[in-house]
Structure 1
Amino acid sequence: MQRQSSLLRRRFVLSAVMAAAISTAPLAQAADRLVAVSSGGFAEAFKELAVRYEKDTPGVTVDRQFGPSMGETKQAIPARLARGEPLDVLIMVGPALDKLIEQGLVDGATKVVLADSYIACAVPAGAAAPELGTVDQVKAAFLSAPSIAWSDSASGEYIQNVLLKRLGIEAEVKAKGRQIPATPVGEIVASRQAAFGCQQRSELQPVKGIRIVGELPAELQKITPYAAGIVASSRHRAQAEAFIRYLASGGSAETLTRSGLHARTR
């Protein structure tokens, strides 16, 4: 009887240990799983740098997700935060990140500007390319294109609400142009749904089937900073801080430049 009782006790202890191990395993995994969301302009650099970070930081997994910095789509970063999604790091248009900081959704002390992005324009591969070196050439390019596309994020908002007015061609261009939600403008141009399209160079660059004509000239250019910050509700602050430091390090500069961005690494 005593032997049987001892055996039962040992089985009970073993079961308890196994149950504890099983119950804590997901917590351990969750502690090393960093959820980071990048908007389109930084996406290509983010993909490469996140993979490198995982290799350089054993035991840490970066859950790579994507969504616009603004706009009405359900994947837009503000909408995801409003739904209470458990996000840790945001990489997005700087002014859009500032709005989230003002709302208390992102810790302002963690904001780091990583790179600057310039607006470029493209035509379908094989199509004639307009000149964009001067203000008059840009105006002529918009007027001569039979159809035009721009994004619903930072570059598109600038084109739609500022650039066209400044050029004095708002009515003519809006009659044949459209703002594209979520889908990269380059894909619209590549499929010939638009003969001419403008977006951040870093968003156009990965798209096949287009020819990037060039960036807008300095007089018309809108430089968009991309910045990273930690979501205020993040439970993985130390890991998030380490990842942002990695993105902002000098070792990331070449990747950022190759992706079409102008690095601000330290």
Structure 2
Amino acid sequence: MSTLALAGLLREATPALEATLGARVTVELAPTRTLETRIRAGERADAAVLTAEAVAALSAEGVLDGMTARPLAHSRVGLAVKAGTPHPDIATVDALRQLLLAVPSLCYSRAGASGIFFAGLIERLGIADAVNAKAIVIPQGFTAEKLLTGEAAIAFQQISELMEVQGIDVVGPLPEGAQTIAVFSGAAFTGTAHGAALLDAVAALCTPDALRAKGLEAPG
């Protein structure tokens, strides 16, 4: 069970994981908050990749084996536009604030770590009401898909998630002062026979080059 931030990496790595483990590997993808709810409702897998905070919480509850927990990737929130359209200025917090007030439409996610952060960001900037009046807030999934339909002019999400949508341009990460670095960690479910081996195989694939190619950063 994995957060969407590592979707691209895990999709491409599944054949390599299967070759390493000698078994079929199924990856269930959803936002961390959604997976947390499902796990607490009783769903189980061999291993989970979630935000570090969620891994810590589920380890404290005994659902995940905290002894196997390890950071796998760092991720930044970014902004995207439809391919071929002008790239807005987001070099400073003030430029970002002006863009958010001027843009006709935008999209962010309700359940993902980036969407939760973005909702807090516009509150801190004092523009939540103005922004939300024209925002499309999707329950989960890839926000950049709304750029392709023309429903949104800009989209916010983890850069790795924006990169999963073809036909868009990632303008870049949000500026310092309006940025957060999410830490995504993995852990085996408590009592699973294959969780630790699966997590080891996933961790081995999270090299700096592989992470960078998917818009992520190596931890540490």
- Regarding TM over 0.5, the answer is yes
| 2:199 counterpart of 1:235 | no
Question: Residue type matched to 2:200 in 1?
Answer: R
Which residues in structure 2 correspond to 1:202-217 (within 5 Å)?
202-217=160-175
Q: Which has the higher contact order (CA 8 A, sep 6+)?
A: 2
Instruction: State the partner residue of 2:82.
Output: 124
Q: Which has the higher helix share?
A: 1
Paired positions, count: 219
Q: What is the TM-score when the length of structure 1 is the normalising length?
A: 0.77
Instruction: State the partner residue of 2:25.
Output: 62
2:114 corresponds, among 152, 155, 163, to: 155
Say if 1:251 and 1:138 are closer, same or farther in 2 by CA, change over 3 A: closer
> Which residues of structure 1 form unaligned runs of 5+?
1-36, 71-75
Residues in 1 aligned to 2:48 and 2:206: alpha-carbon distance in whole angstroms: 20
Question: Residue type matched to 1:41 in 2?
Answer: A
| 2:45 counterpart of 1:51 | no
1:52, CA displacement in angstroms? 1.0
**Helix, strand or coil at the partner of 2:177:** coil
Residues in 2 aligned to 1:197 and 1:187: alpha-carbon distance in whole angstroms: 9
1:250, CA displacement in angstroms? 7.0
Residues in 2 aligned to 1:188 and 1:181: alpha-carbon distance in whole angstroms: 13
1:149, CA displacement in angstroms? 1.0
1:99, CA displacement in angstroms? 2.4
**Helix, strand or coil at the partner of 2:45:** coil
Q: What is the TM-score when the length of structure 2 is the normalising length?
A: 0.91
Instruction: State the partner residue of 1:260.
Output: 215
Q: In the TM superposition, what whole-angstrom CA distance separates every residue of 1:206-248 from its partner, at most 9, and x where no partner exists? A: 201222111111221110011101122x432xx3212222322
1:165, CA displacement in angstroms? 2.3
**Helix, strand or coil at the partner of 1:197:** strand
**Helix, strand or coil at the partner of 1:150:** strand
**Helix, strand or coil at the partner of 1:224:** strand
Instruction: State the partner residue of 2:98.
Output: 140
Instruction: State the partner residue of 1:26.
Output: none
1:198, CA displacement in angstroms? 0.4
Instruction: State the partner residue of 1:40.
Output: 4
Residues in 1 aligned to 2:215 and 2:171: alpha-carbon distance in whole angstroms: 14
Residues in 1 aligned to 2:205 and 2:7: alpha-carbon distance in whole angstroms: 18
Q: Is the 8 A contact 1:49 1:252 kept in 2?
A: no
1:193, CA displacement in angstroms? 1.3
1:121, CA displacement in angstroms? 0.4
| 2:142 counterpart of 1:184 | yes
Percentage of pairs with the same residue:
31
| 2:72 counterpart of 1:114 | yes
Question: Residue type matched to 1:216 in 2?
Answer: L
Segments of 4+ moved more than 4 angstroms: none
Residues in 2 aligned to 1:188 and 1:98: alpha-carbon distance in whole angstroms: 33
Question: Residue type matched to 2:192 in 1?
Answer: R
Question: Residue type matched to 1:139 in 2?
Answer: R
